[in-house]
Copies of this chain bind each other. A is one copy, B any other.
Amino acid sequence: MSASDLCGTTEPGPRPQSFQAPQGDLAVLAGSACPQLGQAIARELGVPLSPCQAQYFSEGNVFVRVLENVRGRDVFVVQGVHYPVNDNFMELLFWIDALKRASAQQVTAVIPFFSYSKGDKKDEPRVSIRARVCADAVEAAGCDRVLTMDLHSPQIQGFFHIPVDHLYGRHVLCEHIRWLNLPDLIVCSPDIGFAKDAASFANLLGVPMAIGNKTRPAHDEQAVVLEVIGDVRDRNVLLV
């Protein structure tokens, strides 16, 4: 399914926009986190991937090198920040720096998954707002624009001073769910913090919603669901 298949949806909010030809000569690079996605994006755009190389040394360092001229070009570097999160993030910073120092006209970081986006607030004393730290590091490295999707909270766009194109996967997902034709569907948010996004899914699908009231008492990965707000009895539940 291509992006243009989504045109029929009626959601009023921000939507993936159709691609605009960049100014100057386009270049697409894939970091070591996203070789296939980079390849797919380049194929969709009809351009070759720019050759480049990321090398991890046994001491834990990563070294990056761009293998063709990018002077004056409009460069998109595709590098998600998923597992191994910190390796991928540092590699992203080095790509940005290498491209800017090679006189790229504009560098856009394409980050399909932005891991630290959960660290978006100071909900207990003396913790870091890690998503802001990451945003500052990306800007300090010289990034001109960020293209990402499905951030943990929409406020994270405001952690960046540079423009952020924030895309949503829900249009593609809901199209598929509608096609499944499930009777008596209800959308359920796993916790209250995700309720607003769940409401957007429910709205796109035209079905009601419920909300789980989950808590994570200790700082480990164990969560406890306290109650479900709303009535899910005898319904097909779409947990988002």
Contact of A185 with B by CB under 8 A: no
Chain B proximity mask over A22-58: 1 for CB below 8 Å, otherwise 0: 1110000000000000000000000000000101011
Interface residue? A204 (CB, 8 A): no
Bound-state CA distance A72–B65 (Å) is: 29
Q: Point out which of A58, A70, A115, A229 has the most chain B C-beta atoms below 10 A from its C-beta.
A: A229
Task: Report A35 CB to chain B, min CB distance, Å.
Answer: 18
A residues adjacent to B (C-beta < 8 A): 12-14, 17, 20, 22-24, 53, 55, 57-67, 70-72, 82-87, 89-90, 93-95, 97-103, 105, 115-116, 118-133, 136-137, 139-142, 145, 153-159, 161, 163-166, 192-193, 195-196, 199, 208-211, 213, 219-221, 227, 229-231
**How many copies of this chain does one complex carry?**
6
Which B residues are CB-close (under 8 A) to A193? 196
Contacts of A120 in B (CB 8 A): 155, 158
- On whether the beta carbons of B95 and A86 are closer than 8 Å, the reply is no
Taking a contact as CB atoms under 8 Å apart, the answer to whether B58 and A115 are in contact is no
